[in-house]
Amino acid sequence: MIQKNPYAAYNNSKIQTATPAELTLLLYEGAIKFTNIAIVAIEKGDIEKAHNNIRKAENIIREFQITLDHKYAVAKDFDAVYTYLLQRLLEANMKKDKDILEEVLGHLRTMRDTWKEVMAKTANGNNIKTKEPVA
33-72 pLDDT, tens digit each:
999 999 999 999 999 999 999 999 999 999 999 999 999 9
Report residues of the chain scoring pLDDT below 50.
127-135
What is the CATH number that goes with domain 22-118?
1.20.120.340
pLDDT at position 8 is 66
Q: Mark out the alpha helices in the chain (DSSP H runs).
A: 6-16, 20-44, 47-66, 74-95, 98-127
Distance of alpha carbon 12 from the chain centroid: 17
> DSSP letter at 72?
S
What is the reported pTM?
Answer: 0.82
Residues 78 and 62: their CA atoms lie apart, in Å, by 11
Residues 121 and 44: their CA atoms lie apart, in Å, by 41
pLDDT at position 5 is 78
Closest Cα partner for 88 from 49, 27, 38, 43? 38
pLDDT at position 106 is 98
